[in-house]
Amino acid sequence: MDPSRQLYDAVSQDRQLTASLYRQALNDPGGAVRRLVALAAERGLSVSPEEVRCFVANLEDPGSRRWLDKARGGL
């Protein structure tokens, strides 16, 4: 499975983490991407900031699209 998908699945299962990342993305989108890259590394996954941005840009989930639309400035 794609590391970006694995990271997305892990984050989406943790409501508190998802909410925290969403709040961070509203104020510091670049920091949210860096945090996602760090979370991936903690899980033994290797993703680049560009891979995170690309993955999020291609999500079809309405809730995730809302996150992207609000955080688009830094993504």
pLDDT of residue 1: 81
The closest of 26, 31, 32 to 73, measured between CA atoms, is 26
Dump pLDDT digits (tens) for 6-46: 999 999 899 999 889 988 888 888 899 999 999 999 999 99
Inter-residue long-range contacts of 19-22, CB under 8 Å, 24+ positions, other chains counted: 22/67, 22/70, 22/71
Please state whether the predicted TM-score (pTM) of the whole model is above 0.95: no
pLDDT of residue 71: 60
The residue among 68 and 6 whose pLDDT is bigger is 6
pLDDT of residue 67: 64
pLDDT of residue 23: 87
